[in-house]
Amino acid sequence: MKKGLFVICVAALLTAGCKQTGATEEDRFIDNLLSQMTLEEKIGQMNQLSFDQPLDSIKAKIRAGEIGSMLNIDPKLIDEIQKTAVEESRLGIPLIIGRDIIHGYKTVLPIPLGMAASFDPQLVEAGTHMAATEAREEGITWTFAPMLDISRDARWGRIAESLGEDPYLAGELGAAMVRGFQGEHLSDSDAIAACVKHFVGYGAAEGGRDYNSTYIPEILLRNVYLPPFQKAIEAGAATLMTSFNDNNGIPASGNDFLLRTILRDEWKFDGFVVSDWCSMSEMMSHGFAADRKDVARISANAGVDMEMVSQTYIEHLPQLVAEKKVPMEVIDNAVRNILRIKYRLGLFENPYSKPGKTSTIYCDDHLKTARRAAVESAVLLKNDGVLPLKEGQTVAIIGPMANAPHDQLGTWSFDGDKNRTVTPLKALQSDEYKGIKYIYEAGLDYSRDTDTSDFERVKSAVRRADVAIVFVGEEAILSGEAHSLSNINLIGAQSELLKAVKSTGKPVVMVVIAGRPLTIERDLPYADAVLYNFHPGTMGGLAILDLLYGRENPSGKLPVTFVREVGQIPMYYSHNNTGRPAQDQITPLKDIPLEAPQTSLGNTSFYLDSGKDPLYVFGYGLSYSTFEYGNLNLSSNEVSAADTLTVTATIKNNSTTDGTEVAQLYVRDLVGSIDRPVKELKGFQRIFIKAGESQTVTFKLPVSELAFYGRDLKKKVEAGQFDLWIGPNSAEGLKASFTVTE
Ligand code: BGC
C-alpha cells in the first residue's frame, strides 16, 4: 500500500511544478490519498501535538496515524520523528512541523513592531525570507506568523508582535511577510508555510488584558480588523490561526461566520485553519461549550481544520461522525485542506531537513539583514542637537539595557542564541567601534531594578565623560503573550537613573529598548535626544551605534501612537471626529479657575489632565536630515470610482546630510453613510534624498482604494468630497481636495 502511494506521490510531484496542470494534479493526488484513509487516520491529520510527551509515546501515536502535525520539537529530532511518520505509519503521510518563528529563527530581527517602524516592505520580506531559510534548513516547514492583530493598546503585551495600529500598514507588511516566508514556491528549500494570526480581533482585548473579550461590530471588523488578513491571504498565506478571544460573545474557534462565510466563501481561502493553543478546549471556560465533545463538534462544524494541542478531535470526532453531529464532508474537507498544504510544501517527496553545503544560520548575509532591519526600525523621537555623536568624545554608557543580550532579542525568540547578541556595549568593543573611549556603569542591573545605590558611581562616571548614553526600557519578559501591563511608564528606578545622569549637567542621550510604546513624556526633560528601539534583535547594538554616531541616518517612523498617559488609551490617529472635536487651545488643568462655571472650558472631547493629543503621532520620526514638502499636485480634482489618481509632491532635503524620508499619503472622506476616520493611510514610500537635493514622490491611488463597508455592509466607494495629504507623519503635510463623482 505504502509503495503504491509513493508512486502516486512522485508522479504528482513531477507535474506539480507546472502551473497549468498543478491544481488538477494536486486535487487528484489529494483525492486519491483521502480515498485510502480510514476515518481515524483522517482525524489524526487534524490533530497537532506539542512535543511534551516521551519520544516513544509520540512515535507510537505517529505510527498509528494519530498525529498530523507537531510543534515545539527540538529541531535535532525533526528528521527522526518525520522518519517515523513517513516510513512507519500505514500511509506514510509526512508531518508538518510548526514553530513560532516570529522575528527570525536563530538570527533574530527586531520584534515585528520594530519591523513595522521601517515602513519598508522589501526589508520585511527579506527579513522573513532569511528566517525561513534558516528554519527550513533544520526541517521546520511552518511558522505561526505573521501576527496581524491591529493593536491600539500599548498595555497589551502582544503589541510587540504586531505590525501596529493601522490596517493599511499591517496589510502591506503582513503580505510582505507572507511572501518572505513562503518564497516563490512553498516547496523551495528556503520556504516555509506562513500562518496569519490571530483570527480575529484579539488586539482589541478589553483593557489591554491578554485573552480578554472583544466587542467589535461587523462594520468595524470589516473596515479595520479584517483587511490585513485579507491582504495576507491574497498574498498566498497557506494557513490561518484562530484567536483566543470571544468577539461579541463568540469564541473565534467556534465562529463559523468568520471561518466559513468570510474566510472560505468570500475570500476563497484554500489553505488550512489551525486553532490556537487549547483555544478550542478553552471554549468551556468561556461558557460556550459544555464539555470536550461539545468543543470538538462546535469547532469542526465552524471550520477549524486542525486542533492545536487540546486533542478533543482525536477523542470525540469518531463518535460525533457516527452520530451524524459532524458530517463526514466536514472531516474530508478539513483533511483535504491540510494535505493540500503538505503537498504544496513538497513534503511527500522531500520530508526531511534541507541542510545546504554550508549552513545559512548566522551567516554574514543574515547578520547584515538583521543589522539593516535594526537600523531602519529605530525611531529618532527627539534631538536637541546632541546627535549624531562625535567619535572623539568620551561617552558614559549607562543603564540596564546597555548590555542585556537576552532581553534585546525580545519576546518570542526561542531559538536565538543570546551569546550571539551584539549589545551596544559589545558593539563598542567591536573592531568597528573600538576607537571610541567609553566608561560603563550600568546603574541598574535590569529594567525592574529599584536599587539606586550605584547612582553616585553613575554620576561620577558621567562627569568624567563628554556625553552620557542612557539605555533604558523593558526586559523581554515584560511584553509578549500574557504579559500585559497596567502602567507603562519606565519601570523600576529607570526614570530616577535618567534624572541622576541629567543632574551632572552633561548632555544625555536616552536610548529606549522596549517591547511596546512606553509613556515617556515625564522622562523627556531629562534627555537631550531620544532614540526608540523596539527590541532590536541580534544586531541591535551595532545598529544603535551606527545611528548614534551618524554612520547611518535614522529613518524609522512610528507604527503606533505614543500616548502621554496610559489613561489616554485607546488613542489612534485614524479615529472618528466626534460631534465635538477638541479645539486647538484647551485650558491646562492647572489654569482652570476655581469654581469655574460648568461649560466655561468648552464642551469638547479631550482629557482635562492630558489634553487631546498624544505624545507622538502615528508615522512620526526624525532624521539627521530635514525634509521640506512642496508642490503637491493631483492629476485631477474630479475622479470616478474607476479612475486612478496620481498624486505628486517634491521633497527637498534641506540639510547637509543624505537621508531617507518615509513619505506618507493620507485621505479623509468628508461625508459618508457612516462616520469616516479623520485620516487614513493609503500609501507610503521610502525615498533616499541626497543633501541639498529634491525628489518628486509619486503615488498612484486607485480610487477603488477609497472603498469601505458602509451602512449596508457593502464595500464601495461613496461619491463626495475628499481631503488628501502627503507628509512626514499623520499630523503634518500638504493638503489638497478632490471629488469622487457618482
Ligand atoms: C500563541 C500563538 C502561538 C502558539 C504556539 C499560543 O499561545 O497565542 O501565537 O503561535 O501559542 O506556540
What are 631-665's pLDDT values in tens digits?
Answer: 999 999 999 999 999 999 999 999 999 999 999 99
When mean pLDDT is compared across 23-27, 291-295, 420-424, the lowest value belongs to: 23-27
DSSP reduced 3-state for 206: helix
| pLDDT tens digits, one per residue of 664-680 | 999 999 999 999 999 99
Q: What beta strand segments (E) does 282-411 contain?
A: 307-308, 379-383, 395-398
Annotated catalytic residue, options 149, 246, 276, 546: 276
Residue ID of nearest Cα to ligand 1 atom 8: 276
Residue ID of nearest Cα to ligand 1 atom 12: 100
pLDDT at 299 over 60: yes
Q: Is 197 in the pocket of ligand 1 (CB under 6 A)?
A: yes
How many C-alpha atoms does 188 have within 13 Å on its Cβ side? 14
Q: Is 210 in the pocket of ligand 1 (CB under 6 A)?
A: no
* pLDDT score for 356: 80
Specify whether 364 is catalytic.
no
Q: Is 481 in the pocket of ligand 1 (CB under 6 A)?
A: yes
Residue ID of nearest Cα to ligand 1 atom 11: 277
Q: Is 415 in the pocket of ligand 1 (CB under 6 A)?
A: no
CA of 244 to the centre of ligand 1 (A): 10
Given this structure, which CATH class describes domain 365-548?
alpha beta
Confidence of residue 612 (pLDDT cuts 50, 70, 90): very high
* pLDDT score for 303: 98
Q: Is 158 in the pocket of ligand 1 (CB under 6 A)?
A: no
Q: How large is the average pLDDT for residues 306-315?
A: 98
Residue ID of nearest Cα to ligand 1 atom 6: 277
Q: What is the pTM of this model?
A: 0.97
Q: How large is the average pLDDT for residues 473-498?
A: 98
Backbone dihedral angles phi then psi of residue 82, each to the nearest 5 degrees: -65, -35
Amino acid symbol at 24: T
CA-to-CA distance for 553 and 467, rounded, in angstroms?
Answer: 20
Confidence of residue 380 (pLDDT cuts 50, 70, 90): very high
What's the mean per-residue pLDDT of the chain? 96
* pLDDT score for 584: 87
Q: C-alpha grid cell for residue 134?
A: 534558516
CB 67 within 8 A of CB 61: yes
Q: Is 276 in the pocket of ligand 1 (CB under 6 A)?
A: yes
End-to-end CA distance of the chain: 63
CB 680 within 8 A of CB 708: no
| pLDDT tens digits, one per residue of 345-370 | 999 999 999 888 899 999 999 999 99
* pLDDT score for 372: 98
Q: How large is the average pLDDT for residues 193-212?
A: 98
| pLDDT tens digits, one per residue of 237-257 | 999 999 999 999 999 999 999
Per cent of the chain over pLDDT 90 is 95
Q: Is 277 in the pocket of ligand 1 (CB under 6 A)?
A: yes
Q: What sign does the CA torsion over 384, 387, 390, 395 have?
A: positive
CA of 265 to the centre of ligand 1 (A): 26
pLDDT at 1 over 60: no
* pLDDT score for 3: 37
CA of 672 to the centre of ligand 1 (A): 39
Q: Is 483 in the pocket of ligand 1 (CB under 6 A)?
A: no
**Pairing of the two strands 250-251 and 246-247:** antiparallel
DSSP string, 609-656: TTBSS-SB-TT--B-SS-EEEEEEEES-SEE-TT-EEEEEEEEEE-SS
In the 3-class helix/strand/coil scheme, how is 245-262 assigned residue by residue?
A: CEECCEEHHHCHHHHHHH
* pLDDT score for 329: 98
Name the residue of 70, 100, 102, 140 whose CB sits within 8 Å of the most ligand 1 atoms, as the mutation to test its pocket. 100
CA of 227 to the centre of ligand 1 (A): 22
DSSP string, 158-181: GGGGS--S-HHHHHHHHHHHHHHH
Name the residue of 50, 69, 142, 144 whose CB sits within 8 Å of the most ligand 1 atoms, as the mutation to test its pocket. 144
| pLDDT tens digits, one per residue of 532-571 | 999 999 999 999 999 999 999 999 999 999 999 999 999 9
* pLDDT score for 10: 41
CA of 681 to the centre of ligand 1 (A): 30
CATH architecture, range 627-740: Sandwich (2.60)
Q: What is the DSSP letter of 111?
A: P
| pLDDT tens digits, one per residue of 140-175 | 999 999 999 999 999 999 999 999 999 999 999 999
CB atoms within 10 A of CB 415: 21
Residue ID of nearest Cα to ligand 1 atom 2: 276
CA of 201 to the centre of ligand 1 (A): 15
pLDDT at 28 over 70: yes
| pLDDT tens digits, one per residue of 42-59 | 999 999 999 999 999 999
| pLDDT tens digits, one per residue of 397-429 | 999 999 999 999 999 999 999 999 999 999 999
* pLDDT score for 357: 84
* The ligand 1 atom nearest the CA atom of 145: 10
Amino acid symbol at 377: S
CA-to-CA distance for 533 and 512, rounded, in angstroms?
Answer: 6
pLDDT at 515 over 50: yes
Q: Is 100 in the pocket of ligand 1 (CB under 6 A)?
A: yes
Backbone dihedral angles phi then psi of residue 207, each to the nearest 5 degrees: 70, 5
Phi-psi region of 348 (alpha: psi -120 to 50; beta: other; left: phi over 0): alpha
Backbone dihedral angles phi then psi of residue 17, each to the nearest 5 degrees: -70, -25
CA of 276 to the centre of ligand 1 (A): 6
Q: C-alpha grid cell for residue 661?
A: 524620508
Confidence of residue 22 (pLDDT cuts 50, 70, 90): very low
Q: Is 120 in the pocket of ligand 1 (CB under 6 A)?
A: no
What element of type H or E holds 632? strand 627-634
* pLDDT score for 23: 59
In the 3-class helix/strand/coil scheme, how is 40-92 assigned residue by residue?
A: HHHHHHCEEEECCCCHHHHHHHHHCCCCCEEECCCHHHHHHHHHHHHHHCCCC
pLDDT at 186 over 60: yes
CA 480 vs. chain centroid, Å, equals 11
Residue ID of nearest Cα to ligand 1 atom 4: 277
Name the residue of 242, 277, 279, 412 whose CB sits within 8 Å of the most ligand 1 atoms, as the mutation to test its pocket. 277
CA of 200 to the centre of ligand 1 (A): 14
CA of 197 to the centre of ligand 1 (A): 9
Peptide bond into 129 cis (omega under 30): no
* pLDDT score for 11: 40
Name the strands in the sheet holding 720-727, side by side, starting at the edge strand that comes first in the sequence: 638-639, 734-740, 720-727, 659-669, 680-689
pLDDT at 465 over 60: yes
The structural domains of the chain, with segments of one domain joined by +, span 365-548, 577-612, 627-740
CB atoms within 10 A of CB 384: 11
* pLDDT score for 291: 98
Q: Is 466 in the pocket of ligand 1 (CB under 6 A)?
A: no
* The ligand 1 atom nearest the CA atom of 102: 10
